[in-house]
Amino acid sequence: MKFRCERDTLVRALATAGRAAANRGVAQPVLSGVRFELVGDRLKLTGSDNDLTIEVQIEVAGEQDGIAVMPSKIALDLVRSLGDPRVEVSIDEDQARITAGRFESSLRVLPADEYPRFSPPADHAVTLGAKDLVQALSQVVPAASSDDSRPILTGVLLAAEEGGLRLVATDSYRLAVRDLPGTSVLADGQSVLVPSRALKELQGVLSDAEEVTLRLGERDVAFEVEGTRVTSTLLEGDFPSYRGLIPPRQPNRLTVNREDLLNAVKRVKLMARETNTPVRLSMSAEGLELVAITQEVGQAHEQIDGSFEGEDLTVAFNPEYLMEGIDATNGDEIFLDTVDAQKPAVIRPGDGGDFLYLLMPVRV
C-alpha cells in the first residue's frame, strides 16, 4: 500500500476512527489498531472494539492499493507531530514507513488477516435532520448511567412515539425524555436500546453535518454522516418502565429564568465541591432561595426572582444533576414542577417544548 495525503486530513480520520479502537490487553490485540484499506484514491480507516465500530473515508493520492493495520495511538501521535503538511505512507507486510519533509519513520504493523470482518449495514435507510438529532442527544445522553454493572441503564432508548421518535435515558437518579415529532425511524410500537457510548461518538461526528442516515439492523444500528459511519451493537434487555416515574399531577410550579438559576446553582454549589452536600431550593411567593451548607467548609445562599404557585416548599438536589438538567432545557424560562420534598421533580422548558428532565430529590 502506498499513498500521499494532507497531514491534517489524516489526523482527523485517525482520531475519529481510533476512538472506537479497543484498549491494549483485549482478547484480540489487533483491535487496538486502525485498519487501513486503500482502493484507488479512496482510503477507508476503521476502528472497532467489536461493539462499536467507526469507519472514515477520505480522498488521498493513491499509488498502490492494499490493506494494513497500524497501532492506533502511536500512529495518531506520530502523524499529528509532523511538521510538513504533506505526508507519504508506504506499508508492506511488516512495517509502515511514514515520511514528511525530511522526517522519516518506520512503524511495525499488526496482522491484517486477524482483523474481524464486519457485516455490511442494513439496506433500509432513513435520513434525519442532524441539527435536531444532535440537540436531542445533548439533552438525553448525559442522563444515561456509566455503571457497566447495570448495562441496560448505559443505553438510550429510541422508541416510536405518536408519529415521531422518542429518546429516553436514566441512571435511576434522573430521567431525560426528548421527543422528535414527525421523525419516522421505527415502526409503530418498535423500540431499540443504543449504547450511550456510541451516541456520544455520534455527537462529535454530527457537529457540522446537515443530515444523518440511519440504518437499523436486527442486532445493530449504523449512522452515516458525510463519509463517516458509526455502527453499534444494540443492547439486549428490557428498559425500565419509565412512564410511571413521571408524576401525573404536580401542584407546585416554579417559573424562573434559566440562566439566573443555572448561575446561582454554580455559585452556591462551590461549598459542596468536595462533598456530597446537596443544594436546597426553598420556594415561596417571594421567589427562590438556594442554600448549601458544609460544616467543614462553610455555607452559601442566594436569592433569585421567580414566580411560584403552590404551597411553600424546600427540596434538596444533587447539584451536578440539577445543573445538567437546567443546562439541557432550552428557552429563557423553565418550569420546576414538584409534589413534595420526597417525590421526583420535573424540569420543563417554559414554552412547553418536547423535553423533560425528572430528578429525584435528596433526603436531608
Q: How confident is the prediction along the chain (364 residues), in pLDDT tens digits per residue? A: 999 999 999 999 999 999 999 876 666 899 999 999 999 999 999 999 999 999 999 999 999 999 999 999 999 999 999 999 999 999 998 999 999 999 999 999 999 999 999 888 888 888 888 999 999 999 999 999 999 889 999 999 999 988 789 999 999 999 999 999 988 788 888 899 999 999 999 998 998 889 999 999 989 999 999 999 999 999 999 999 999 999 888 999 999 999 999 999 999 988 876 667 899 999 999 899 999 888 778 889 999 999 999 999 999 999 999 999 999 999 999 999 999 999 999 999 998 789 999 999 998 7
Residues 6 and 107 placed together within one structural domain of the fold: yes
* 364 domain residue, yes or no: no
Residues 135 and 56 placed together within one structural domain of the fold: no
Of the three residues 216, 243, 270, the one that is the final residue of a domain is 243
pTM: 0.91
Amino acid at residue number 274? E
Residues 341 and 313 placed together within one structural domain of the fold: yes
The grid cell for 306 is: 421567580
Residues 108 and 28 placed together within one structural domain of the fold: yes
What is the CATH number for 262?
3.10.150.10
The backbone torsions φ and ψ at residue 173, rounded to the nearest 5 degrees and listed phi first, read: -105, -30
User: For the chain, how many structural domains are there in total?
Assistant: 3
Residues 236 and 257 placed together within one structural domain of the fold: no
* 120 domain residue, yes or no: no
Residues 299 and 347 placed together within one structural domain of the fold: yes
Of the three residues 71, 87, 114, the one that is the final residue of a domain is 114
Residues 6+ apart with CB under 8 A from 79: 7, 10, 11, 14, 87, 98
Domain hosting 107: range is 2-114
* 297 domain residue, yes or no: yes
Residues 233 and 154 placed together within one structural domain of the fold: yes
Cβ atoms of 111 and 39 within 8 Å: the answer is: no
* 119 domain residue, yes or no: no
Residues 110 and 130 placed together within one structural domain of the fold: no
Cβ atoms of 98 and 87 within 8 Å: the answer is: yes
The grid cell for 134 is: 444532535
Which helix (H) or strand (E) segment is 8 a member of? helix 7-18
Residues 232 and 263 placed together within one structural domain of the fold: no
H helices of 25-167, in order, are 72-81, 130-140
Cβ atoms of 266 and 362 within 8 Å: the answer is: no
CA 58, 59, 60: angle at the middle one, nearest 5?
Answer: 115
* 51 domain residue, yes or no: yes
Residues 48 and 132 placed together within one structural domain of the fold: no
Percent helix, strand and coil across the chain, each rounded to 5? 25, 45, 35
Please give the Cα distance from 263 to 252 (Å, whole number).
23
Of the three residues 222, 243, 264, the one that is the final residue of a domain is 243
Q: CA dist 218 to 49, 169, 307, 348, 353, Å? A: 19, 21, 49, 34, 32
Please give the Cα distance from 94 to 1 (Å, whole number).
12
The grid cell for 260 is: 439566573
Please give the Cα distance from 65 to 242 (Å, whole number).
52
Which helix (H) or strand (E) segment is 126 a member of? strand 125-129
